[in-house]
Structure 1
Amino acid sequence: MNHFTTAYSTDQDDQSLIEQAIKGNRNALENLLKKHQPYIYNIAWKMVQMPDDAQDITQEVMVKVITNLSKFRGESEFRTWLYRIVTNHFLQMKKQKRETLVNEDFDAFTERLTGLPDVEITLIEIEEKAVEIREMNMACMSGMLLCLTREQRLVYILGSLFNADHTVGADILGISKGNFRVRLSRAKKDLFNFMNNQCGLVNKSNPCRCHKKVTAVVENQILDSKNLLFNREEYASFQNYIGDSPENLSDLMEEKVLALHSQLPYNDTFDKKEFLNDFISDERVISLLNLN
């Protein structure tokens, strides 16, 4: 189920859950957060790259949501109201670890990739290192997102990875539909220009190949094959979880770039861990809504 599509159905209406949560119903609050939390977390993950940072941000956002829950008046859909809080938090939060360490544009990113030595490996070695090569591929694409400005990154995540249409995207960001389209187009163009000029997955004439770089990143401990961040069996992909790409994508090459980014992992197992239970049991959360 994609909360960013124009309409979606649930077992229980948001408004009903909100009314019960405000009255202190713990189960209602848990169901409300469980419904929206995976999207908050996965946006955060793509915004800052590191899972631990994304978890901290998710908790900060959910505290803001429940703190302001009684202010929701139903003048817009709850998801629009909620994701405005989410996007405002992402745009205003302090720089996270990877943002601080990377702090680069596409030119600097190109220089960093070029600085990694190419090591030719055999076809057998490519098969043996398939997991690490896939991890490098995903890490590289995730790093590309950090080369976008935060605003571009957020628009791209909402409009391309989550398939938010222009109406929903514009409502969430508080801008016109035309403005949303322009910002999304620029973000896609910047990613396309970089990948078309550098990435061998998009343009086979480019020299950059993940299998040539994987030896260097493993030896320099940039990639830990025993602690993968992206290429894990329990993760779905955006393409599998969110669905088909929008029909109004610009051209074939940009579709190819998006198709690659849609393979980035989507962690739909996160809300099944102890995080949500711990959050609901937090004394701050209990006191905010007088949960019972």
Structure 2
Amino acid sequence: MKNPFLKEYSGGKTDIELVSLAKNGDKQALENLILKHQPFIYNVAWKMVRNPSDAEDLTQESLIKVITKLNQFRGESSFRTWSYRIVANHFLVSKRKSSESLFTNFDAMAKGLDQTPDSEMSETEKKENKAFIKEMNYSCMNGMLLCLTREQRLVYILGEMFNADHSIGSEILEISKDNFRQRLSRSRKDLFNFMNNKCGLVNKSNPCRCHKKVKFALDNKIIDSKNLLFNRDEYASFKERIKPDTDEMMDIIDEKYSRLYSNLPYKQDFDKETFLRDIVNNDHIKNLMKLN
């Protein structure tokens, strides 16, 4: 699978070359290695835990694990597979972040949606509140991801949102291809079943509509009108960054809900310089890697 996460690193060196230089104390090579892979790691983390600050912590924790084990990399598999395996394992076993407690299962989310009062909007009001309605949509869909188990969530993010094929996904998670396909299928079904029963965007017979929940969300600070979490112009979408051919996807239960997830935001403006500074200037990392 072509690695779609190279935008942050514009140099021509391969992973193997960067790893070799970094092992020999080249600080710039280590920075470039981080730049090359951190957009992928951060955006997986963001979808795993929903909250940007929690995602930054999870990303930094996993990158430090990768770097501290860098001398163990022998090139027997691609660096991408080797390092993402460490990252995936950390995501699965790390202490749960506070933002993961928003919804623990689909029943809890259904109850929350049912208990949220509806407020109708006129067509004019819908146009005036278009940004907030989309934010509500993105927020709700990210909440649905949290209803999956961590393992299901990770499989779905890798296989559906990042378009990792069964070979790559199974290598990262160290499971068989059939097992990866089965877990991805189960995650898709669980999301689809919930959305088909609740979400008006997927099934028009459902009463739940994003615009009806906006007033409650704004009044209760669930949506910060001055600092939207998801619906921001500077963010790309997963479809733009990862899956340009999403409308032609195969093996999907219902491509309508899948397209919705392909439009979730892909964040590019997280504090990359802080990540680099904190990691490469960490005394333990500097001593371990003998950085120049």
TM-score by length of 2: 0.94
Point out where structure 1 has 5 or more consecutive residues left out of the alignment: none
1:268 is matched with which residue? Answer: 268
Q: CA deviation at 1:267?
A: 1.0
CA distance in 1, matches of 2:49, 2:139: 12
SS at match of 1:274: helix
Q: Which residue of 2 aligns with 1:32?
A: 33
Aligned partner of 2:146 in structure 1 is: 146
Whichever residue aligns with residue 152 of structure 1, its letter is: Q
Q: Percent identity?
A: 57
Native 8 Å contact 1:195 1:202 kept in 2: yes
Tell whether the 8 Å contact from 1:4 to 1:163 is kept in structure 2 after alignment.
Answer: no
Match of 2:92 in 1: 91
- Equivalence for 1:207: 207
Aligned letter for 1:94?
K
What does residue 119 of structure 1 align with? 119
CA RMSD of aligned residues (A): 1.9
Question: Which residue of structure 2 aligns with residue 254 of structure 1?
Answer: 254
Alpha-carbon deviations, 1:51-74, whole Å to 9, x = none?
000001111111101100000011
Structure 1 match to 2:287: 287
Kindly provide the amino acid, as one letter, of the partner of residue 33 in structure 1: I
Q: What is the CA-CA distance between 1:288 and the residue it aligns to?
A: 2.1
1:136-160 residue CA offsets vs partner (Å, 9 max, x unmatched): 1000000000000000000000000
Cα distance in 1 for residues equivalent to 2:247 and 2:16: 29
- The question of whether the paired residues in 2 share the 8 Å contact of 1:2 and 1:162 is answered with no
Matched residue, 1:193: 193
How far did residue 109 of structure 1 move?
0.3
Q: Give 5+ residue unaligned stretches, structure 2.
A: none
- In structure 2, the residue corresponding to 1:227 is in which secondary structure? coil
- Letter of the 2:181 partner, please give it: R
The answer to whether the Cα contact below 8 Å between 2:23 and 2:289 also exists between their aligned partners in 1 is yes
Do 2:249 and 2:255's aligned partners in 1 also have CA atoms closer than 8 Å?
no
1:31 and 1:180, CA in 2 relative to 1: closer, same or farther beyond 3 A? same
The question of 1:130 aligning with 2:130 is answered yes
What is the TM-score with the length of structure 1 in the denominator? Answer: 0.94
Matched, 1:75 2:76: yes
Aligned residues of 1:188 and 1:254 also touching (Cα < 8 A): no
User: Counterpart of 1:81 in structure 2: which amino acid?
Assistant: W
Aligned residues: 287
In structure 2, relative to structure 1, the CA distance for the partners of 1:19 and 1:246 (3 Å cut) is farther
Ranges of 4+ aligned residues in structure 1 off by more than 4 Å: none
* Higher RCO (Cα < 8 Å, 6 or more apart): 1
Match of 2:106 in 1: 106
